[in-house]
Each structure stands twice: as structure tokens, then as C-alpha cells.
Amino acid sequence: MDPLRPAVPTPLPSRITASDVEALRTLTERMRALARHYGGQADTMSAIAIRSMRLLSVPATDPTKQSLQSALADLHTAAGWACVDTRLDDNARKHFATAMELANDAEDPAGMVHALWLSGTSLDEQGHPSDALKLYQLGQVKLTDAHNDSRRPFLSSWLHAESASSYAHLGRADPARSELTAARYEWDPPDENERADMDWLTSLVERHLGQLDRAEHFAASALRTLDADPDRRRVSMASITFAELHLRAGEPDGLCLAHEATQKVASLRSQRARERLEPLITALSSRPGSDHRELARMARKVASTRA
């Protein structure tokens, strides 16, 4: 018997109220914060998301049930992204599919688009940019049903930015540039960290398009914003890109930046961050000197170790 599993399941409430839904949303945000700070968390978030589906069997008013479905969709989207970070891709797909179904039942098109967006990002990072583009395009179509939702401009901007990334991976520079321009058209980030995320993604696109100076500019902008950010996963991603670009440019601080980025990744339970070390390892290996070779060896060891 599992000593951590209760002998008797936790009893369900007799009725779901608005406060129950708000508590679920608060729990989701707290779990997101833990995942951003430590990386991973897929096992915990998946278990919570699956177990929370029992709440759908509890009586509630129609508006409360609809809010519950929307909150559960968000929870499954968060669990799906935690699975992406842990590289449990099959589990991620299941969570995203559940999130889309719940959001559809809740008549929450923005919630569905959120899951489509992250599902597409996962596909793009797995080397399927064409499939990712189909999800981003579907997301833009679904957003036409969310014209009164305050999340619409934010989600639209991210769909355009992620589309730019996919086009860049396909070697299609012109549509990638068009999508980057569209991403900034209505861009009004809710906080500075989201602004930094957009700058980091823009840096990656510019790097793929061969514009290293522009890529370095946006990576530096992202890091300046993230300097005091508790989201260590976000900071590590931007640090990797910034260090790689400095190494490729032959900057004297490249080695120190690469060491710092590698250390940041090593402290995380993020398989996705470890995979992101590969371009940095390539850049280190291209530089002369034993210090670069030794750091490349260390970074390769971090990248190959399961988080």
C-alpha cells in the first residue's frame, strides 16, 4: 500500500460554489509559480488535475459549473505545460486535449486557445513546425469567438510570435518577419515578465534568421527585465541564449556567461531547459581553448542528466 495515498478518498463537497472555483484557480496559480521557480512539477500537477475532475460530479448552478469547467481547463493546461517542461510529451498531449474539451464545454474560447498555443509550442520544439502552425492558425480562428475577452489581444500576439518561430524553423524568413510584426501590433503585456518572454522568443527567431545583432539586443532586453524575477526557469532560458550569442560573436565574457547559464540550468528540474543547452554546447565547442572544451563537457553532462 502506498503510504502517501489516503486509505479513504477525500470526501467531495455537497455542492460546488464560486468560492470552490476561486480556490481551484488559486491552487493552479500557486502550482504554476512552483513550476516556474523549480522547473518540472509534472507528477504533482498531473495528479491534482486528474483528481480534480471528480468535482464535475458535484451539484452546482449552471454558471458555477461553467466556471468550474473553465478553471479545470486552465489547471489541465498548466499540468500539460509542466509535462512539456519534464518532456512527458504523451501526458502533455492528454492534458491539453482535456483542457480544450473542458474549455469548449465552458464556452471559453480563450481558454481553448491557451491550450492550443502551448500544445503548438510543444510540437514546434519537438521538430514539427508545420503541425504547430496548424494549431496556431486554429487558435486565431477560435479567438474570433472571444472578441469580448480581455485575454484576446494577449493570446493573439503570442500566436503570431510562435508562428514566427515555426516559420523561422522552416526557413521561411518573409512570413516569419510578418508574424513578428503582427505579434507587436496589439502587444500589451500584463507584466514585465511577459514582455521579457516575448523579447526572448523574438531573440530566438532573429537568431534563426541569422540576425545575430538583433538577437543579442532582444536577449539582453529580456535579461534586464528578468534580473530580479523569481521565475528561475524563465531566467535560465534567456541566459542560455544570451551566452550562446556572445560566444558566437567571440565576446570575451562569453565563457563566464555560459558558465552562469549552465549552473542555472543544473539547479532546475526542467528537462526542457537542459535540452536548450545544446546550442550553447555547440557554441562552446566551436571556440578554441581548454576552458571552452571543459565547460562544453560540463554543459553536456548537465544536458544529458535527467532532471
Radius of gyration of the chain measured on its C-alpha atoms = 21
pLDDT tens sequence across 216-245: 999 999 988 776 666 789 899 999 999 999
Quick check: 159 pLDDT over 80? yes
Query: Who contacts 248 (Cβ-Cβ below 8 Å, separation ≥6)?
Result: 212, 283, 286
Residue 246 in any domain: the answer is: yes
Residue 194 in any domain: the answer is: yes
Quick check: 8 pLDDT over 80? no
Count: domains in the chain: 1
Quick check: 6 pLDDT over 80? no
Question: pLDDT band at 1, cuts 50/70/90?
Answer: very low
CA end-to-end distance (rounded Å), the chain = 27
Q: Which domain holds residue 296?
A: 189-307
All three cell numbers of 13, joined, read 463537497
Looking at residue 228, what is its pLDDT? 62
b/e sequence 206-234, b meaning 16+ C-beta within 10 Å: bbbbebeeebbbbbbbbbebbeebebbbb
CATH at residue 238: 1.25.40
Quick check: 211 pLDDT over 70? yes
pTM here is: 0.92
pLDDT tens sequence across 237-276: 999 999 999 999 999 999 999 999 999 999 999 999 999 9
Looking at residue 232, what is its pLDDT? 87
